[in-house]
Amino acid sequence: MSYYFTDALESLTSVARVQQQQVFERWMELDTQLTELRRDRERPSSFRLDAHLDVILRCIEDEQSGFISDQGDIRKGGALWLQISLSKQWLFSTYELFRTTVEKSTCLEGTTGTQFCQPKSKKCPRCNVLRVKQELSSFRIPLAKHEPAGCNDYKDSNFHSQMMFEKDGGSVGWKNQGYPSKINDKVVTSRRELSDFVLDALTANL
């Protein structure tokens, strides 16, 4: 019996954790903080699965960036399709973790649902998590539901988010179709930028 695929994945994961060690450690810190917010004593390390996916994608993005520098275009074929698919899965999975954490945590001022503290308090962890959740949602909804966020005009048809490829950074990117993006005013935001946004937005404030 050959273990080609599991051996390859083992190697991939190990190398990615080393190459992206700082990022991986930041995800660990975030994982701990979100777990505490959810008061989830039974599953303290569930998010590390998403952290692994993020560091693997960052390595792929770095290699795509290098390939573009060398060859003048992205590397196509199976690796690209897998990168696109994994990028989408990372977005979905990260969104679900933040959605669950919002629902299982408590606002410092008693706010619930989609409402924020009034006036907005940057020191409220639950509302910081809600901000990130909403930011991710504006990219997730077109991909997951085939309709723009907050729009009911596509019940009998399909709307498809425009996917782009960030040639400078080697990352997949999506067009924002919903909540106003808080990441500058860019129309297209890359997966890498969303990942940086998640890490910056929470590790700085929680």
Q: Which residues of the chain form contacts with Zn ion (CB under 5 A)?
A: 107, 111, 117, 124, 127
Closer by beta carbon to Zn ion, 72 or else 119: 119
CB of 99 vs Zn ion, minimal distance in Å: 16
Neighbours of 179 (CB within 10 A): 16
User: Minimum distance between the CB of residue 125 and Zn ion, rounded to whole angstroms?
Assistant: 8
Residue 4: CB minimum distance to Zn ion, A: 49
Closer residue to Zn ion in complex, CB, 130/172: 130
Q: Is the sign of the CA dihedral 200, 203, 205, 206 positive or negative?
A: positive
Burial 158-172 (b: 16+ CB within 10 A, else e): eeebeeebbeebbbb
HSE, side-chain direction, 13 A CA sphere, residue 77: 4
Minimum CB distance to Zn ion smaller for 117 or for 163: 117
Rounded-to-integer distance, Cα 151 and Cα 81, Å:
29
Map residue 182 onto helix, strand or coil: coil
Q: How far is the CB of 124 from Zn ion (least distance, A)?
A: 3
Nearer residue to Zn ion within complex by CB, 60 or 102: 102
Written as one letter, the residue type at 129 is: V
Closer residue to Zn ion in complex, CB, 11/106? 106
Shortest reach from residue 33's CB to Zn ion, in Å: 15
